[in-house]
Amino acid sequence: MLLSCEVFTNGIEWLGLRLGLAETATGSVLAAVGTAMPETIVPLIAIFFGGAIKGEEVGVGAILGAPFMLATLAMFVGGVAVLWRHRKKKGPAHLKLRRDHAERDMRHFIVMYVLAFIAALLSVQSYFDAHPVNIGIAIVLLIAYGYYLNRTLRDEKVEKSNSCPALYLCRLFGGEAGSGRYGFWMIVLQVVAALIGIIIGARIFVDEVENVSTAVGIPTLILSLLIAPIATELPEKFNSVIWYLHAKDTLGFGNITGAMVFQSSIPVSIGLLFTTWHVDTLGFASMAIALLGSAWMLYSISRPKGITYGVMLASGSLYVVYIALVAIQLLFYP
């Protein structure tokens, strides 16, 4: 699944180059959506093809786990990369970002995820049917993401060079991905083939999560919150680390925040439309921590030095808090 995602991202970046998109759009839309595909496919497969109860638990867990991991662990890994480059005198101790774009990403995520949090609160109430409200919120989220896409794709291209490595298929069969019909169709072929690989890997992953949960006796929701997002978030972390080390902070940070915006809209909408959107205590905790970490990042962007490696490393402490909450529940409320 991770290998397919890497191939998918490579093709998506070349597609952005061929379309003449700005670096902000390539990072926050094309690369972010590309590397977010496993997290999106996992809940889809779990909800529609998994068991009636555990399939929904895996799906909701994967939906909630992705923004949580991006707002905490992904930021921590990025902070380690920025610290390393600063120690090696290869870049500053803070991210050099287009602040307007970074703020736009964080604001969109916070607003949309607050709506998802409200829907989860309403779903635990027993005195009225929350499903119509969930449908309404899902529609709002889809419209909001369409608005976000429109604004981001209209960003001006100010970069003088692109960051795309050679297209993998062109490395194997020759040709130039940057020009001609042959190059364009090679890009499309690579993207489609990688997407098929992602779907196959996601189906296998969902089955194994359910099997491990049953064998070990760990609640499926907890397992999917901790394991599924770590595995499927690796592409975002890996790509962002590379971009940070090359001082391409707009791409690196946008890859994370763009995925957060996507995860708070499309997968959440799927969950609202096709599940009961029942969230337990740990699920609420993961949502609250993701919102807290995002608010911290939004505040830091407006500070004179912006987002430093210290700010990013501090976000990782929120992940430790969540692990502690999981441990407490397993020990005292099994």
* For residue 29, pLDDT beyond 80: yes
Output the 3-class SS for 239-259.
HHHHHHHCCCHHHHHHHHHHH
Mean pLDDT of 104-110: 96
* For residue 210, pLDDT beyond 70: no
* For residue 93, pLDDT beyond 70: yes
| DSSP conformation class of 308 | B
Q: What pLDDT score does 160 carry?
A: 45
Mean pLDDT of 84-91: 90
| 10-24, 127-141, 151-165, 292-306: the lowest-pLDDT one | 151-165
| 9-13, 223-227, 283-287, 311-315: the lowest-pLDDT one | 223-227
Q: Give the residue among 323, 81, 40 at the shortest CA–CA distance from 205.
A: 40
Mean pLDDT of 14-30: 79
Per-residue pLDDT band at 236 (split at 50, 70, 90): low
Tens of pLDDT, residue by residue over 144-200, are 999 999 888 887 665 544 557 789 999 898 888 888 888 889 998 998 898 788 778
Q: Which residues contact 126 (CB under 8 A, 6 or more apart)?
A: none
Cα(136)–Cα(85) distance, integer angstroms: 46
Q: What pLDDT score does 81 carry?
A: 93
Q: What letters, b where the CB count within 10 A reaches 16 and e where it falls short, cover 231-270? A: bbbbbbbbbbbbbbbeebbbbbbbbbbbbbbbbbbbbbbb
Per-residue pLDDT band at 136 (split at 50, 70, 90): very high
Q: What pLDDT score does 161 carry?
A: 45
Number of domains the chain contains:
1
| DSSP conformation class of 127 | S
Residue 334 forms part of a structural domain: no
CA 312 to chain centre: 16
Tens of pLDDT, residue by residue over 125-134, are 878 788 899 9
Tens of pLDDT, residue by residue over 245-281, are 888 888 889 989 999 999 999 999 999 998 889 888 8
Cα(88)–Cα(75) distance, integer angstroms: 20
* 3-state helix, strand and coil shares in percent for the chain, rounded to the nearest 5: 80, 0, 20
pTM of the model: 0.82
Asked if 241 contacts 21 with a C-beta cutoff of 8 angstroms, the reply is no
Parent domain of 227: 2-329
Q: Give the residue among 227, 254, 274, 284 at the shortest CA–CA distance from 64.
A: 284
Q: What pLDDT score does 146 carry?
A: 94
Asked if 97 contacts 306 with a C-beta cutoff of 8 angstroms, the reply is yes
Q: What pLDDT score does 133 carry?
A: 93
CATH code: domain of residue 179:
1.20.1420.30
The whole-chain average pLDDT of the chain stands at 83
